[in-house]
Amino acid sequence: MKYQLWLHFLFTSCFCLPLSVIGQTPVLATHQPGHIVRTSSTYDEYMQVGYAKIADREYRQALIYFQQALAARPDDRQAAEAIRNIEAYIQPGGNVIIFPEGRPSRTTVGGTRPADQRTTNEEEKCFPDEQFPVSLIPANEQDGKQRTTSEHPQFWFYIPETTTAIQELEFMLRDDKTPQNLYRKTFEGGTKAGIVSINIPTSEAPLTADRVYTWKLSIICDSSSPSDLYLKGKIEVVKDPNLYYQVQQTTEPLDQAMLYATAGLWENFVSILADLHRQRPNDPQINQYWVELLTSVGLTKAPSESP
């Protein structure tokens, strides 16, 4: 089946979404305090209660528990990330999509072009309006890595409309400890703007926790003279038993998404939100979060659809 980049399923691991907005009030998940796992660690207990408060949407109470967790274990990354995200969310005018640290990556040519350098002929041919592809999953400012709990993550990209059809897209995932690609897929392009998701199939070997992987999405508008126009980033699988426990206790997907957002696990958050976008086209709260996601990367205009 011919690849239609922004309207149809590409293959079993890649699908696309329009930049349209959505909407149905989600059902609140109710936390039962007696379900908190008892551990020997004061830090773990504070983190578990903090995540439980997030599931109950009691964000200010959650903040207190995360602050206590950080006091019990100073310099802990997970507690500090939760505090930062909650503080940004509960401030006046705060959004669930904050992304103040690692902005989603922008297109790179050859990996060496200075930010203020003029675009190349390849970029001008593909994207004459200087609106370039972006990754929708931000990276952490401290180490430049995206984070997820998924062993088979999804990678999300926005591809703007082009005057010349993209002839080919190629996605590659590589373990930084090995010289070989773990996953590689090439597919046809198009001209319409939209959001692309590339999923690592479950038939592939799972990613290992606490290891860093490099991904690359190459965009070729002219196969006769490709100039290696691409997006590139790093992703790490992390394990958080306290978060995992509360996610398992939370039945409403949107509440699960908020738990992941609190932990700064944006791959999980965006993947759940995109699924809800398709399943609940009239849910106003999902619509709000989706718009915040698009706005966070400067996308406010829905692309036109091909016939």
55 with 151, same domain? no
CATH number at residue 161: 2.60.40.2550
Comparing 35-39, 265-269, 301-305, which segment has the lowest mean pLDDT?
A: 301-305
Predicted local distance difference test score (pLDDT) of residue 99: 46
Structure tokens at 279: 């399943």
pLDDT, residue 135, reads: 87
- Total domains in the fold of the chain: 2
Lowest mean pLDDT among 46-60, 140-154, 213-227, 275-289: 213-227
What residues are paired with 155 via a beta bridge?
198
Statement to judge: residues 77 and 122 lie in one domain? no
Determine the pLDDT at residue 22: 27
Model confidence at 30: pLDDT above 70:
no
Question: Which residues have a Cβ under 8 Å from the Cβ of 203 and sit 6 or more positions away?
Answer: none
Structure confidence by residue, pLDDT tens digits, 126-171: 776 667 788 888 787 677 889 999 999 999 988 887 777 788 889 9
pLDDT of 2 > 60? The answer is no
Instruction: Give CA–CA dist 262/79, Å, rounded.
Output: 10
Confidence of residue 82 (pLDDT cuts 50, 70, 90): very high
**Adjacent-strand bridge partners of 168:** 220
Mean pLDDT rounded to a whole number for the chain: 75
Same domain, 199 and 111: yes
Residues 139 and 206 in one domain: yes
For residues 122 and 66, membership in a common domain is answered with no
Shared domain for 66 and 182, answered yes or no, is no
Confidence (pLDDT) at 121? 52
The predicted pLDDT at position 3 comes to 28
pLDDT digits (tens, 9 = 90+) for 270-302: 999 999 988 998 999 888 888 888 777 667 654
55-64, 126-135, 173-182, 255-264: segment of lowest average pLDDT: 126-135
Q: Quick one: 206 exposed, middle or buried, by C-beta within 10 A (0-12, 13-18, 19+)?
A: exposed
Q: How confident is the model at residue 215 (pLDDT cuts 50, 70, 90)?
A: very high
* 94 and 105 together in one domain: no
Q: What is the pLDDT of residue 256?
A: 95
- 150 and 205, same domain (yes or no): yes
Q: How far apart are CA 187 and CA 95, in angstroms?
A: 35
The fraction of the chain above a pLDDT of 70, given in percent, is 69
Same domain, 90 and 111: no
Average pLDDT over residues 80-94: 83
In a domain, 84, yes or no: yes
- Model-level pTM? 0.76
pLDDT at 234: 93
Domain extent at residue 93: 36-98+241-266+278-296
What pLDDT is recorded for position 12? 31
Pair (215, 257) in one structural domain? no
Task: Give the helix/strand (H/E) hosting 283.
Answer: none
pLDDT above 90: residue 253: yes
Q: Left if phi > 0, otherwise alpha if psi is -120 to 50, otherwise beta: which for 194? A: left
